[in-house]
Copies of this chain bind each other. A is one copy, B any other.
Amino acid sequence: MASGAEKQTDRMEKIVSLCKRRGFIFQSSEIYGGLNGAWDYGPLGAELKRNVKEHWWRSMTQLRDDIVGLDGAILMNRAVWKASGHEETFNDPMVDCKECKGRFRADQVESTPCPRKPSRSVKECEHEKTEPRAFNLMFRTHAGAIETDDSLVYLRPETAQAIFVQFKNILDTSRQKLPFGIAQIGKAFRNEINPRNFTFRSREFEQMELEYFCRAEDGLRLTDEWLENRLKWYESVGIPRSKIHILDVPEDKLAHYSKKTYDLEYEFPFGIQELEGVAYRTDFDLGTHQKHSGKSLEYFDEETKQRFVPHVVEPSAGVDRTVLALLCESYDEEEVADDKGNKETRVVLRFKPSVAPIKAAIFPLLKNKPELVAKAKEITSALRQEFRVFYDDSGAIGRRYRRQDEVGTPFCITVDFETLEGDKATGAKDTVTIRERDSMTQRRVPITELSSFIASALK
């Protein structure tokens, strides 16, 4: 019998394989051998990712009046990273092998295979290694015509700093009062030595970060509130609270500027790993940028007439990690009977309808009956105005269902002869079959009600 760990590895392999096979996620530059730590989202993956981002953005900026958005550049003045401490301290400890010239994370030599002889670990290799040295994780590049120290810029390793350095501009233009937040979604880059676990630890990734500014006395309370708020959000996109481990980071493990941090961890098949951190960062970030830039980042309280640097609570989530968690959470296999009553395994992604890449698939029962095809296409065109839908007329209906199950489409709509000719008993025309993905139950619905049927499932 397979062990629990083997089962999980097997499960992860199936998910990765499905992602490639159905166009969720491909290796970047695959035809050239790929690029370690970079991934492309194919047609269905791009929609899934868009849905996750849209959910977050809407919940943060549209449904609340105390949070505004920002869309900052990836390239920033180097002074930002000097001030934030990233230039000096955003490092991993590395050792070099003096024989093969390989470079390895010092804290992972036991689990990293030796390049010369992969059956042994780097630690087991007999060749001499250097002492651990700090390796900065920021990607370096140069802006402008000449490559000098003056033109050095980094690819941002997090989106948060853009929020801090634009704090004053946003405060001045949005007329918000404390507490209020600034939300941002965007790409960030970390030159990980050992990208791994599919898209989980990659060199290029996307973040959804909120900085929620407040008075010092409200920091701890708001951190707890944001933890609760974020758990509800994950539940709303389909990751139940029971699958999220909340790590209340012990005081001696906290970053020096943080008074409280919760790590939200998900049970991925490859282990329990961080999805999001909710950190109370005090006034460290604004304070340090105020000091280094010489520009006031203070808030003026009209009621108390006080000026002060606000504190901040940061819920920082990964887009790619959320997408991966949704794929892992949704992936399911079950034994069902096929058209002929034989047992087969049904693969189904049990996405919530609101995050599913395709909301409904529309089928004519038979491809070679022009009336069925025309009606199915007419329905597709109408629904397309409101939802992402997919028309499919190839193969047996059972196979078409399976194809949609595998990509998580919640509803399949079939146009059959009853649609055209009417129900034998009642004579009612223009009804179709809606088949629900999870229960596989079918029911007849008038074409005129399809739109509201799907819309209500998306709420």
Contacts and interface: CB of A to CB of B under 8 A. Distances in A.
Contacts of A22: 173
A96 to B, nearest CB: 8
B71 A165 contact: no
B35 A75 contact: yes
Contacts of A384: 62-63, 65
A162 B40 contact: yes
Contacts of A2: none
A360 interface: no
A21 to B, nearest CB: 7
Contacts of A189: 75
Nearest to A186: B187
Contact of A23 (B62, B72, B173): B173
Copies of this protein, total? 2
A55 interface: no
A313 interface: no
A142 B140 contact: yes
Nearest to A387: B62
A433 interface: no
A37 B45 CA distance: 31
A247 to B, nearest CB: 29
Interface string A61-104: 11101001111111111011001000000000010000001010
Given A63-B385, A142-B140, A187-B187, A76 B38 contact: yes
A166 B42 contact: yes
Interface string A19-51: 011110010111111111111111111110110
B40 A72 contact: yes
B145 A35 contact: no
Interface of A: 20-23, 26, 28-47, 49-50, 57, 61-63, 65, 68-77, 79-80, 83, 94, 101, 103, 135, 139-146, 153, 155, 162, 165-166, 168-170, 173-175, 187, 189, 191, 193, 203-204, 289, 292-293, 295, 297, 380, 384-385, 388, 390-391, 394
